[in-house]
Structure 1
């Protein structure tokens, strides 16, 4: 039998202890990769995952976490920049401090982690970076101005980094999930006046009529990160239930 797709490869996943990050880390490990999760709360990770505390808004924390992972894994072949936070509201609803907080994590977190991982990626025979972006980068969503701006920056960075790094053989791509059934969405729904109605509204705005699962996003990330996607770089892959591209008639 042939070896698993990721046999012999090492992966680092930020935000890897829950949601999309955990689903991705588990899938990569199941396909043969050695995986380290960098997360604010890396406790109780299932085997064979390893993890350490990293705050992507802090450069020293990122540098130390990436160096720790590279030493234990024997290098880094794949970086999944998944750590991120959400934000709600129109352009007038968040103060400057909140804008800075979200960009520190969603945008500069990608910068810091990529910068720290590049020396190891440049030594890899199959290097890849996959960023978790969002449909909010490509579609105008109500009450998501700050979040959309941060993910729009991630999409632009993905393309620019791909252009800069293609000469080094490093592929850079991103996934654009729709609304995903994650702990963050659960907390969002819990704060709604009518959680059931709010969930139904989130499901209805995706043409498939259901939320995206973390495993579905993980499958897309694994495809982009894998050696079989060696001809794919500088692109974004929508995993949004048709939200960004389909215009369907309302049901009923």
Structure 2
């Protein structure tokens, strides 16, 4: 039994803030332990991390592993007082090592362990030679409407790249950047439609083509209206919610994300059935 399980038995469930606080505490302790164990951080990784994180040090002055790790540890303690900032800089640390290197795998294993111990869940998003960390919401929704479309979009390289950008933007969305995130999601869907239907129309001009495609597969016209509703949602979002710069703008973004993933998944599923 874990302490988290024991808390639940006592009726003391964790709030999101408590989970994040616990995660950050475990992460800082993990860094401290890694210094003692003399693991993970090579001179090359250290140089790459300092350069991309903007740490003003002369890497050559830190010859031993312990010295390098202490610089990184102190930087994280000072600069990562919330989850998003931690994930941002930890992503830089991950990418300081080479793809498929033991060091990167160790860091991914470490953050996954800290997250599971804190009842948080992260997704590692591969983009070429780089990896990015996204905080996951409801697992069923994420798997069906985010992770699966992302995997299937590998057959649509431009849309895959656009969807990854949208996910990155979404993961760090603020009330001030909400409209830009909505535009990224809209662009991802437009790029997918262009590759899927093999033309270069703007998103608004796919209404009839989308409807005809669904009709040819025996899908009721009422279902085709989901695309029209999403188009209206993007327009209304930027004209209303995003201008308010309040919490509602962030909440609606999640709806836009899942609806975008839903349409992508739906069309790719229909095309797969054509080939089977």
Shorter-chain TM-score bucket reads under 0.3
Larger Rg: 2
- Name the one with the larger helix percent: 2
TM (norm. structure 1) is 0.26
TM (norm. structure 2) is 0.24
- Name the one with the larger strand percent: 1
Structure number with higher relative contact order (C-alpha < 8 Å, ≥ 6 residues apart): 1
